[in-house]
Structure 1
Amino acid sequence: MSRNRRAAGAVRGPSSALTSFLAGLGVEPSHRLTTWGDTSSLNADHQPTLAHDGPVIDPGDDLDPAGAVTARNVIAGPSEAGDGTATLENESKKRKRRGESDDASVYSEPNAKKTRAASVDSDDLDAEDAPAPGPSNSKASAAAASTAKVAPGPLGPVGSFMECGECAKRFTVTAYTKEHPSNPSTYLCVNCCYTLGIDPFAKVKKAPVKKAVKKEDRAKVVHYEQKKGVKALGDLCIQIIGKYIEDVEQLGDIGGINMDKVCKIISKGRRLTAETAQLFYSPDRDDLTMYDCLTPEAFTTISKLCPKLKSLNLQLCGQLSSDAVVAWGKSLKQLRRIELFGPFLVRKDGWTSLFKSVGKRLEGLLVTQSPRIDLEMIELLVKSCPNLTELRLAEIGQLNDECLAALHPLKKLKLLDISAPGNPLSDEAVISLLSAIGANLETLDLTDNPDLTDEILPAIITHCPRLRRLSLRNVVELTDEGVAAFFAALKKQDRPGLEWIDLEKGHDLKDGSLQALIAHSGATVEKLNLLGWKEVSNDSLGELAHCKHLKELDVGWCRQVTDFTIKDVLDGCGEIESVRVWGCNQLTDAIPRKKGVRVIGVESHSI
């Protein structure tokens, strides 16, 4: 509200006596004050800065004590009532005409440097020409505040104080405090959030928490093709039976295949106990396979509850004792085949009683990891069981060349496994054994015999005319020329192709061996292991597509295997079921796929 309007009878607010007195003399503030305390013009002219909560003192002036009682300082200036500037003489003449004294002339001295404090009244607030806050003023203040620099740092806890990254004012941290969009690691107060167009009370979006990968999930191998769809009803029933096996009293006649599946499920869950094992016992069973350890008493129970057994296969039978083996020999009158993995506790008296009890009817003895079998036991075995057709003495610590010489009388052998002996076997001992028993051999396993060389290959050709399965895994002394000549000789003699060939870790084997192998056995081989053939070429590997009946292939660490190699195998081998490619680092995610075929070991899938 202007002075003119006030003079015309407009409503005025309350004012102090000093303000009214000065207004009567025509003395007014040089700068209009507002409730926002805008004193930028005063500061620009080096005038005293106004404060909201007390007197403002100019460092260059000595104010009288009266100035301490006011909240604003006023400076004499031109009056807006007239067209000109009032001078001291004019004011003095006017006062003389009105009969007033000159005591107040000190307030209108134009050159006075002293400032006088005056209280703020409603007249100043109502002035029409007072600057009002607006967008331009707010932008200016925001621009001035944005120049404040705040050191970046982490967000404090809720309830603590921080400096605003925009205006540098202190504010209280809440759960909704927002980070400055252009100054990282600094945070905004509520007013600056509104200024920057940010909702200060929006919910903070939390980063998604990554789920910890379980150790067993990391160890899973990713397959390219997985059979999808609904599980067979029989498989679901078998899984339920395995889960609640303790509550099942009798399974009844569910078939040998399904019974074997149930036994595997129970063994995998470590639930095969003396009580649950009785579910698989039956007086009519002639074949029994267990995949987990039982107690010594449970092994003895087998001979009582399954008296008609002809074949007994026990895996992980570390608790099998000599007493149980002796009971088998006495009670199992029809037992013909025994397969044991890890019978560590069976001593010589147990083996002796078993060999003498089963005698000539024993046709198969397959033992892996038994420290008690030595030359004496082998001689007793050959003498007591001359009709053996299957013999496995794998990982026997005391097996040596003398033990091989004791096996010469076993002329009916069709399967011979003398892998991983405790003492290295020589070429001469193996050749001598093959010359004695090789006429009927169909399966020969010489795995982990590092001292054998190419010299045994001609003996295999000469003395094993019916051989169908051959394992020379980890026979590292074999050469590419020797293996190539071996398969070439078999083809030249029109020998039937081999079905199983295991030449793992033949580090010196190359294209010549693979091409000769495919030329002889490519039409018949079903299982082929070429792991570790690091120098074989991609072109030779591509010829594996001619193996029409190939079901299992291992080309791990064959460095030349590519996506096109796998494509040739999948297209050419119509019966292929699995391909292992561990260490083939040229394979990519674009490796071809085929329904029903598992490609195992792709590096990009296992990382």
Structure 2
Amino acid sequence: MPPRRARNADGAVRGPTSALTSFLAGLGVEAPNTNPYARREAPEDEAPSPVADTPVRPAKRRRRAVSVDSDDLDADGGSDDSDDDDDGDYSAGPRGGATPSGAVTPSVVPSALKDIGEMMECGECGKRFPVTQYTKEHPHKPRTWLCTPCCRTLGIDPYAKPKKPRAKATATPQRQKKDARNKIVHYEVTKGALALSEMCIGIIAQYIEDVQALGEIGRDRMDLVCRVISKTRRLTAETAKLFYSADRTELTMYDVTNLDHTAFVTLGMLCVNLESLNLQYCGQMMTDTLVHWAKQMRKLKHLELFGPFLVRKEGWIEFFKARGKELQSLSVTQSPRIDLETMKVLANECPDLRVLKLDEIGQLNSDFLIPIASLKKLESLAIISPGGTPISDAAVDELLASIGENLTSLDLRNNPELSDETLISIAKHCPNLRHLSLAHIPLSDAAVGRFFRDLKAKGWPGLVHIDLEKGHDLAHEALTALVAHSGSTVRWLSLLGWRNVPADDVAALADSHNLEYLDIGWCRHVTDFTLKDLLDGCPSLKNVRVWGCNNLTDRVPRRRGVKVVGIEMHAI
């Protein structure tokens, strides 16, 4: 049966009351106003009842227990700890200030967050509230904290999980050293404003499909436009025609991936006077392409192709027979179809060949060197990364004995079966050598030192380009002899991987006044002082690579105009 509703003296109907309210009403005492959202105000002409002014502790809620001070109860007319039922405006706190409802904001003293369960004053409304694991800091008043209703008023999720602060690692010497090693400093050279010509080239490259003719922009600028559009592989059969001309004698195209056999035939038809042709990434070139070129480009003397995978030996043979007499330079990279028969035809039909580069030829082995030995006019020879049986020291010795006298450049990179014996052959047969690359060949420190001492003893000129990359066993003896013979002439030098070379020996390169490029990556003993000596003593130096030199610090010296690449900062 529903509870009976009582009537006031004036006949108004009252709602159901609690036992305490009924008891006080029987004594003639009116219960205090327990509305948590409205201030209890007594009439001015009526004195407050002593019983009514006595603070009454609200009932504890089942979810949490909160104690309320008498001052709070007098100010609020009661306290309700429920955070889920607060939907109204918030009244002023005991000390005044501006509230969300337009009242005065309380003046709360900033303090650190107390432990969970303790009471604090809200930095927005001034009310006291219990600290929980979700308590949020005031967004505009540092080190003051918000109650749940004020979080909602300010648009903050009161129950969002707090972000856990990242625990700081113990500042041990080992940890500091590890953090320092992982920190890399990149030095960048800030470029100034672009030249007008560069801006124009960028616009041309951006709208290359809409360009009808490049006109008279100069050969070097046209080459730059071709380089820019090749980076994004926008060189197609249509755009490539912009670079074709009957009066062109040289043409370099840096990425012709999108050109097919028909486009290559068109190139030969529109550039009949070409003397030098360089095509990179020409994977769609066919056997018939070379057959057409043999008939079309009758003045061709220099040919460089990167990636002609599909050209069979029949195309090479016919091309050599037709154009071999005029051919002076041939560079082929990544062609698995060239075989020993092709090399024999090359040697017979190209007697004036001066430059030959065979890089990653699938069937190349020591037998290929026999017909090459008949090319007496060769000045530059590169046999790199052969795909067949590894080349032997004996085959190289026979080759150099035949053609070594005229060689000024020799590149034997990535021939792992070669050894110190090849150095002896070079020192015996190549008196005019200026460029030497023996990267990725297992040479000994003593043999390299003896090689350069022999060159000096014979009075042979110093080398200009030296690549001894990944010479893991090369150190003091090799570098000392190198500097003594070629230190004053070398311009390009790679000592990458010389892990045991002393820092003082590297610093001896400071007397190399012509040195422009130096790679001392993974030379473990190089320090800041070593690099300072090089920068001070090499006025022509423009590029230094120091990857893996872990003794360099953040105080490494710098010099304007010199690009230092690969600095890893190991000290803070």
Q: What is the TM-score when the length of structure 1 is the normalising length?
A: 0.70
Q: Report what 1:468 is aligned to.
A: 434
Q: Unmatched 5+ residue regions in structure 2?
A: 1-7, 10-15, 32-41, 59-63, 68-78, 88-98, 101-109, 129-143, 164-183
- Name the CA distance, whole Å, in 2 between partners of 1:464 and 1:348: 32
Q: Stretches of 4+ moved more than 6 A in 1?
A: 121-125, 128-133, 184-192, 205-208
How far does residue 169 in structure 1 lie from its aligned partner after superposition?
4.0
Shift in Å, 1:235: 1.2
For the pair 1:300 / 2:265, whether they are aligned, the reply is yes
Percentage of pairs with the same residue: 48
Mapped to 2, the partners of 1:427 and 1:312 lie a distance apart of 34
Q: Matches of residues 438-477 of structure 1 in structure 2 within 5 Å?
A: 438-476=404-442
Matched, 1:194 2:87: no
Question: Aligned pair in 2 of structure 1 residues 518, 183: CA closer, same or farther (>3 Å)?
Answer: same
What residue is the counterpart of 2:481 in the other structure?
A: 516
CA distance in 1, matches of 2:511, 2:212: 52
Larger deviation: 467-476 or 582-591? 582-591
Cross-structure match for 1:55: 19
Indicate yes or no: 2:43 matched with 1:120: no
Alpha carbons of structure 1 residues 302 and 127: separation in structure 2 relative to 1, 3 Å: closer
1:170 aligns with 2:133: no
Residue by residue over 1:408-458, the C-alpha shift from the partner in whole angstroms, topping out at 9 and shown as x without a partner, is 110110110001112211100001100100111011000001111111112
Structure 1, unaligned stretches of length 5 or more?
1-14, 17-51, 57-67, 73-115, 142-146, 151-165, 209-220
| Matched AA of 1:126 | A
Task: Tell me, yes or no, if structure 1 residue 69 matches structure 2 residue 22.
Answer: yes
Deviations 1:256-315, CA, capped at 9 Å, x for gaps: 221111111111011000000001101000001111122111111111000000011011
- In structure 2, how many angstroms separate the alpha carbons of the residues matched to 1:184 and 1:355? 89
Alpha carbons of structure 1 residues 463 and 173: separation in structure 2 relative to 1, 3 Å: farther
* Partner-residue secondary structure (3-state), 2:336: coil
Secondary structure of the corresponding residue to residue 410 of structure 1: coil
Note the C-alpha offset of 1:576: 1.5
The separation in 1 between residues aligned to 2:195 and 2:306, in whole angstroms, is 32
| CA deviation vs aligned residue, 1:130-150 (integer Å, no higher than 9, x gap) | 7969xxx99x99xxxxx9689
Contact 1:226–1:596 at 8 Å: present in 2 too?
A: no
Distance 2:564 2:386 in 1: 33
**What is the SS of the residue equivalent to 1:603?**
coil
Q: Does 1:492 align with 2:457?
A: yes
- Displacement of 1:172: 5.5
8 Å CA contact retained: 2:121, 2:127: no
Tell me how far 1:593 sits from its aligned partner.
2.2
Mapped to 1, the partners of 2:114 and 2:80 lie a distance apart of: 12
Residue matched to 1:406? 371
Query: Which of 534, 537, 540 is 1:575 aligned to?
Result: 540
CA contact (8 A) 2:369 2:399 kept: yes
The one-letter amino acid of 2:19's match is P
Which stretch of structure 1 is more off in the superposition, 554-563 or 357-366?
Answer: 554-563
8 Å CA contact 1:420, 1:449 repeated in 2: yes
- Out of 523, 526, 529, the residue aligned to residue 558 of structure 1 is 523
Q: Distance in 2 between matches of 1:550 and 1:402?
A: 38
2-structure distance, mates of 1:487, 1:238: 47
- In the alignment, what sits opposite 2:217? 254
- Corresponding residue number in structure 2 for 1:419: 384
Deviates more, 1:591-600 or 1:503-512: 591-600
Deviation at 1:125, TM superposition (A): 7.3
2-structure distance, mates of 1:403, 1:184:
84
Q: How does 1:88-127 map to 2 (within 5 A)?
A: 117-120=27-30, 126-127=47-48
Q: Does 1:436 align with 2:402?
A: yes
What's the Cα RMSD here?
A: 3.6
Q: Does 1:384 align with 2:349?
A: yes
Aligned residues: 463
Residues 227-271 of structure 1, C-alpha deviations (whole Å, 9 max, x = no match): 421111111111111111111111122222211111111110110
Work out whether residues 185 and 568 of structure 2, in 8 Å CA contact, stay in contact via their aligned partners in 1. Answer: no
Match in the other structure for 2:137: none
Question: Per-residue displacement from partner, 1:567-589 (whole Å, max 9, x unpaired)?
Answer: 22222221222111222222233
Query: Structure 1 CA distance, aligned partners of 2:539 and 2:65?
Result: 75
After TM superposition, list the pairs within 5 Å mapping 1:244-393 onto structure 2.
244-292=207-255, 293=257, 294-393=259-358
The residue aligned with 2:167 is none
Contact 2:113 2:145 (C-alpha < 8 Å) held by counterparts? no
Cα offset for 1:55? Answer: 2.5
Q: Is the contact between residue 526 and residue 551 of structure 1 (CA under 8 Å) also seen in structure 2?
A: yes
The structure number with the bigger radius of gyration is 1
Q: Residue in 2 aligned with 1:224?
A: 187
1:577 touches 1:598 (CA, 8 Å); kept in 2?
yes
Match of 1:592 in 2: 557
Equivalent residue number for residue 182 of structure 1: 113
TM-score by length of 2: 0.74
Q: Is the CA contact (8 Å cut-off) linking 2:325 and 2:351 kept in structure 1?
A: yes
